[in-house]
Structure 1
Amino acid sequence: MLPEEQELTRLESELATLEDQVVTAEETLETLKVETAQFQYHYYQTVGRLFAELDRLIAQIARVAAGLELDNAEAQAQAEAAEQQAKKSAEEAGLAEKQPPPPPEITPELKQAFRQAAKLMHPDRATTDAERNRRNAIMAKVNVAYEKGDKAAIEKLIIEFGHDPEAIIGEDVSARLVKTIRRIAQLRRRLDQAQQEIAAQTAHELYELKLTVTEAEAMGGNPLGDLERQLRQQISEKQIELEMIRQQRVSG
């Protein structure tokens, strides 16, 4: 076996190992995302809505109290802050529509990145149907990034396009070597990105809350049920307080 063939065999073995590692990491990441999303839904359906109701009542109390003290700037500010918190809680609990984000700014730098990508990978520069399809797919990603105003994503796609193993034509040992080296580099980038995202997911406060709740439930506890009872009690108290302040305003 020639030295280059030996090296190809070694690299293909490394490639197979990396492929397994990437699949495992991406499966772990997607599982984390799904399980966290499921917990978030359950959390907001049980206690999130109650937090929103409690904040709504607090905001109403603050606004009615501010109405009794129109010249009190601090009372007016507290009412405004309470209303903003109530709005945020309602959005998080799915009880109100979030305002859509503002459209991205199309900066000269974003335009320049798009032009660079288009010149490099435009489908019209393809010489085969397979290459045209590859370019169409990646240009579609460039278009999405441009619409989002994501210059960094376009720059990343440019780099990936330049190192894409599928750009290598031929099946001789030399071509296979280059293609395998590029594929290994590509997988290492994907593995690193997946590991970073896993670290970010597990560091998120929502994931930590999920772990805490899961551990408590495993020991026979019911933290969300306990919290639900506490919130209902607080809501009842705030409803009474609101009614008393309203009566005070009427009698005043």
Structure 2
Amino acid sequence: MTTPEAEQGGVAGEDRPTPEGGAPRPEERLERAVRAAEQALIEYEIAVETFRIEVENFSRLHHQKLGPMYTRLDELDAQIAEARAARTGDPEDRRRADEARARVMPMPGVEELFNGWMDGQGLFPEAEAMLTDQPVRPPQRVRPSDEARKLYRELARKAHPDLAQAESERARREEFITRVNAAYARGDETLLRELAEEWAAGPKPPEQGPTPAEELYTRLEWLAQRKELLAVVARELEESAIGAMLRMAPDDPDRLLDEIAEKLLADVAAREAELAELLG
């Protein structure tokens, strides 16, 4: 346990005298606080970025696997509403049918949205196969391996821009970390290894002398503001629909998708039966 005396500098190795034998520099404790805050912020940024990529990848997989089912349900809802309106002739039923049909009208970029599952003319054969429990090409999976995660974290800790003091060094680190993030988002373990070798062989940042107390206080303030911004991003990710789903099954998101798919298939079957009854 750290005693109050240790907090005041009573532990060996803290607040050491200067090489000349004088009293400790006033900025020494503040410098340690800045370094601790920098490391804490880097770890927090790594955690937020890791979760952001997991949410992004899970969102892509969710749209690829379940998008056609949601589209089919919307189409069936529109057909059911239209069949009911045709049977009753009620203006209110006609209004509901028009609203249901408007929800499934083709939209710009729909082919890109569903990654080749459908276009303005309807579902592609792969989607039809999936909806009828036929074999279908699995959606592309982008989930970084454990080794890729380890490499990413090591690189982020070593090359993070917040560790730079000079602007030129910060620019170099930002360009490098951009490439690291892109490789991690693709789950490219080989490229991450190459980037690790590149960083190890690269120039070392120059040693910096003592920072004036005013600059240290400014640095601490910036670090606190940065963490507040990251906290907002983290909260938005966690509260998003995809983020909430991912947190329900962080170790096996595929199982969660399979469970949702089963429910949607059951909903499709129920809607088809309802439509058949209305048309019959």
Which category describes the TM-score, using the shorter chain as reference length?
0.5 to 0.7
d(CA) in 2 for partners of 1:55 and 1:225? Answer: 20
More helix by share: 1
Match of 2:226 in 1: 190
2:101 matched residue in structure 1:
83
Tell me which residue corresponds to 2:260. 227
Q: If the length of structure 2 is used for normalisation, what is the TM-score?
A: 0.49
**Aligned with 2:63 (options 44, 48, 57):** 44
Q: What is the identity, as a one-letter code, of the residue corresponding to 1:238?
A: R
Report the secondary structure of 2:213's partner residue.
Answer: helix
Task: Give the aligned partner of residue 12 of structure 1.
Answer: 31
CA distance, structure 1, for counterparts of residue 40 and residue 270 of structure 2: 54
Matched, 1:73 2:91: yes
Using the alignment, how far apart are the partners of 1:198 and 1:191 within structure 2? Answer: 10
How far does the alpha carbon of each residue in 1:74-114 deviate from its partner, in whole angstroms, 9 at most, with x for none?
Answer: 212322342354469996x92489xxxxxxxxxxxxxxxxx
The structure-2 alpha-carbon separation of the partners of 1:244 and 1:212, relative to structure 1 and needing over 3 Å to count, comes to same
Map 1:163-242 onto structure 2 (within 5 A): 176-214=212-250, 217=252, 222-239=255-272, 241-242=274-275
Higher relative contact order (CA 8 A, sep 6+): 1
| Per-residue deviation, residues 154-188 of structure 1 (Å, max 9, x unmatched) | xxxxxxxxxxxxxxxxx997x72222221111111
CA RMSD for the aligned pairs? Answer: 3.9
Whether the aligned pair in 2 keeps the contact of 1:21 and 1:191 (CA below 8 Å) is no
Match of 1:55 in 2: 74
Distance 1:48 1:190, change over 3 A: same
TM-score, L = length of structure 1: 0.54
Identity percentage over the alignment? 17
The CA deviation string for residues 122-148 of structure 1, in whole angstroms up to 9 with x for no partner, is: xxxxxxxx8xxx9xxxxxxxxxxxxxx
Structure 1 counterpart SS, 2:113: coil
The count of aligned residue pairs is 170
Contact 1:26 1:194 in 2 (8 A): yes
Question: Judging changes above 3 Å, is the alpha-carbon distance between structure 1 residues 88 and 13 closer, same or farther for their aligned structure 2 residues?
Answer: farther
